[in-house]
Amino acid sequence: MKVKQMKGSYALFESLLAEKVDTIFGYPGGSIIPVYDALYDYTDRINHILVRHEQAAAHAAEGYARVSGKVGVALVTSGPGATNTITGIADAMMDNTPIVVIAGQVATTALGSDAFQETDLVGVTQPVTKWSYQIRRPEDIPWAVSRAFYIAQSGRPGPVVLDLTKNAQTGICDFSYQKTEFIRSYIPDPEIDKEVIEQAAHIINAAKKPFALIGQGVILANAEKEVKQMLEKANIPAATTLMGLSAISSKHPLNKGMLGMHGNLGPNMKTNECDVLIAIGMRFSDRVTGKLATYAKQAKVIHFDIDQSEIGKNVKVTLGVLGNIKESVPMVTDLLTEQRHDDWIKSFEPLERKEHDKVLLKEVEEAKGPIHMGEVIAKISEATGHKAVLVTDVGQNQIIAARYFKYTKTRSLVTSGGLGTMGFCLPAAMGAKLGAPSRTIFAVCGDGGFQMTVEELGTILQSQIGIKIILLNNNKLGMVRQWQKLFWQRRYSFTDMINPNFNTIADAYGIRNRMVNKREEIDDAIADMMKDDKAFLLVVNTEPDVMVYPMTPAGDDVTNVLLEESSK
């Protein structure tokens, strides 16, 4: 093994190169200057994107990871630089996104002295990471980086934090790198029980009304093909969670839509009618299940997951299939008999027609009056033949975008699911573009979330990141307002917004832009946006009091789906 001496700061970059890192999102500061000084000599091999806020570095790393399937990397300084990333770290933890955040720290001699910009980053981040570790010696850097990348991307993925003291950065070490392939007591891929596989196949083969729920775990495991083969062999209708969207093509005949609070009517109703519920790589969050006491009580529940703690955590299961679903699902498929469930599948159709007539006709197909968000999303999806990546913020824009966008390729939705982080969209879209430069990236924002990270227009300007920003502007904090309207007696407490001229702001950053006020302007504006690969801001002034339907009230029975305001 070749060994040579170098500073810890250089050992860091040699380690990152060994992990095939090509992009870093970061912001320099006092405690990380030695690393940035070393980076000066690596700019031909590592692309550093200078963000305007450290939270954006973490979200950009998330966006990069979600579309590329690789580990995203953020680099920040100590104290406020590090604490600014915590929202992104927590977001990555909730959504199982593999990122490594490397933060500077004061020298070991100053630890515990309340030195300038000292924060106990390990203590702060341990609850929201898979692993958080402080590096105090330069010779420990290669070991820690190798371990960090292994932990972040193996098993159930998630964020890792490395707290890098200043003396570790400046000290000299003998550098050698060895990739981590095993950690004692950490079992990322549990052994699959063949007897359980046989039991799962037996239950599915005997089902008359099977229904599959597809989560993001399918995408994380790169198991889209394997799940599709299972569904097709046994003729099982399926629906996805919000995070699982794009795991199966929107056009696939067995894909019945999205589950959950704002999911499609058919999947929610059929959840409480099926006789076998097959959950694959999803965690039965409250936004999917609604009232647990009445959720799928008639069904045998089979749960495929890589994390033992998720099986039976929220929903009692008949059978838990523990293991990597890329391996466990085809093992079950091999034992399945070819089935026809035509009558069961056709039973979704009346519900689809009902939702179409109550919601889609009004919102998109026969839209009248002010512009509806849904018709804008449908048109941008069509503009790329449904092959683009959709990145959303959080709120009404998120749910409407997820519902009306169509997916033909996997890893085509990047959104904040578990934490629900406003401000996520713009930086995550930047990261997505760096992670998938050949794909069109649509960043769909609301006016509230956009203003939380609007400073990243500076990053887009400096790094020439060609994302297409669609700002759905209704001068409201729309989702909170919807809840106030439906459940809080229309007491609209601080959800109206007086917004700036967003186009003038885009002009200041040298970003081409258009504003749309009328329906007949939409097509031309989208064509203008799509005529080159440069950044563009499309501001669409939409219906001010838009409501997102369908909707299942929080904590209510999953079948109590509202299709319009007057529904009971």
Active site residues: 54, 116-117, 166, 479
* Phi-psi group of 281: left, alpha or beta (phi > 0 → left; psi -120 to 50 → alpha; rest → beta): left
- State what percent of residues in the chain have pLDDT above 90: 96
Model confidence at 83: pLDDT above 60: yes
Fill in the amino acid letter for 293. A
Report pLDDT digits (tens) over 204-249: 999 999 999 999 999 999 999 999 999 999 999 999 999 999 999 9
Contact between residue 459 and residue 426 where contact means Cβ atoms under 8 Å apart: no
Nearest one of 397, 426, 379 to 525, comparing CA atoms: 379
What structural domains and CATH numbers belong to the chain? 4-175 (3.40.50.970), 194-346 (3.40.50.1220), 370-542 (3.40.50.970)
**How far does the chain reach from its first CA to its final CA, in angstroms?**
71
Tell me how long the chain is. 568
Q: Collect all residues with Cβ–Cβ distance below 8 Å to 378 and sequence separation of at least 6.
A: 364, 404, 405
Contact between residue 204 and residue 331 where contact means Cβ atoms under 8 Å apart: no
Nearest one of 94, 152, 23, 46 to 424, comparing CA atoms: 94
Contact between residue 47 and residue 72 where contact means Cβ atoms under 8 Å apart: no
Q: Collect all residues with Cβ–Cβ distance below 8 Å to 72 and sequence separation of at least 6.
A: 25, 60, 61, 62, 63, 64, 65, 97, 98, 99, 100, 431, 435
Mean pLDDT of all residues in the chain?
96
Read off the pLDDT band of 567 (50, 70, 90): very low
Nearest one of 324, 42, 47, 362 to 190, comparing CA atoms: 324
What DSSP state is assigned to residue 454? G
Average pLDDT (78-93) is: 98
Model confidence at 568: pLDDT above 60: no
Element (H, E) at 259: none
Q: In this structure, are strands 4-7 and 172-175 parallel, antiparallel, or unpaired?
A: antiparallel
Q: Collect all residues with Cβ–Cβ distance below 8 Å to 486 and sequence separation of at least 6.
A: 551, 553, 562, 565
Fill in the amino acid letter for 43. T
Q: Collect all residues with Cβ–Cβ distance below 8 Å to 482 and sequence separation of at least 6.
A: 396, 547, 548, 551
pTM (two decimals): 0.96
Q: Collect all residues with Cβ–Cβ distance below 8 Å to 200 and sequence separation of at least 6.
A: 302, 319, 321, 332
Contact between residue 561 and residue 550 where contact means Cβ atoms under 8 Å apart: yes
What pLDDT sits at residue 2?
A: 62
Contact between residue 246 and residue 410 where contact means Cβ atoms under 8 Å apart: yes
Nearest one of 379, 405, 437 to 47, comparing CA atoms: 437
Report pLDDT digits (tens) over 104-118: 999 999 999 999 999
* Phi-psi group of 241: left, alpha or beta (phi > 0 → left; psi -120 to 50 → alpha; rest → beta): beta
Contact between residue 355 and residue 264 where contact means Cβ atoms under 8 Å apart: yes
Fill in the amino acid letter for 156. R
Q: What's the half-sphere exposure (Cβ side, CA atoms, 13 Å) at 510? A: 10
Neighbours of 58 (CB within 10 A): 32
Q: How buried is 279 (Cβ within 10 angstroms: 0-12 exposed, 13-18 middle, 19+ buried)?
A: buried
Q: How many whole angstroms separate alpha carbon 302 and alpha carbon 277?
A: 6
Q: Which residue has the tokens 């239950």?
A: 203
Element (H, E) at 110: none
Average pLDDT (125-131) is: 98
What pLDDT sits at residue 181?
A: 95
Model confidence at 284: pLDDT above 90: yes
Model confidence at 335: pLDDT above 50: yes
Q: In this structure, are strands 172-175 and 210-214 parallel, antiparallel, or unpaired?
A: unpaired
Report pLDDT digits (tens) over 146-195: 999 999 999 999 999 999 999 999 999 999 999 999 999 999 999 999 99
Report pLDDT digits (tens) over 498-547: 999 999 999 999 999 999 999 999 999 999 999 999 999 999 999 999 99
Contact between residue 303 and residue 172 where contact means Cβ atoms under 8 Å apart: no
What pLDDT sits at residue 362?
A: 78
Q: How many whole angstroms separate alpha carbon 258 and alpha carbon 252?
A: 13
Q: Which residue has the tokens 């006491």?
A: 293
- State what percent of residues in the chain have pLDDT above 70: 99
Phi, psi of 149 (to 5 degrees): -70, -35
Model confidence at 566: pLDDT above 80: no
What pLDDT sits at residue 3?
A: 72
Q: Is 359 helix (H, G, I), strand (E, B) or coil?
A: helix
Q: Collect all residues with Cβ–Cβ distance below 8 Å to 190 and sequence separation of at least 6.
A: 306, 308, 322, 323, 324
Q: Which two tokens stand for residue 507?
A: 């002009």
Order of strands across the sheet with 23-26?
47-50, 23-26, 72-76, 99-105, 160-165, 131-135
Report pLDDT digits (tens) over 450-492: 999 999 999 999 999 999 999 999 999 999 999 999 999 999 9
Report pLDDT digits (tens) over 339-398: 999 999 999 999 999 999 999 887 888 888 899 999 999 999 999 999 999 999 999 999
Report pLDDT digits (tens) over 412-445: 999 999 999 999 999 999 999 999 999 999 999 9
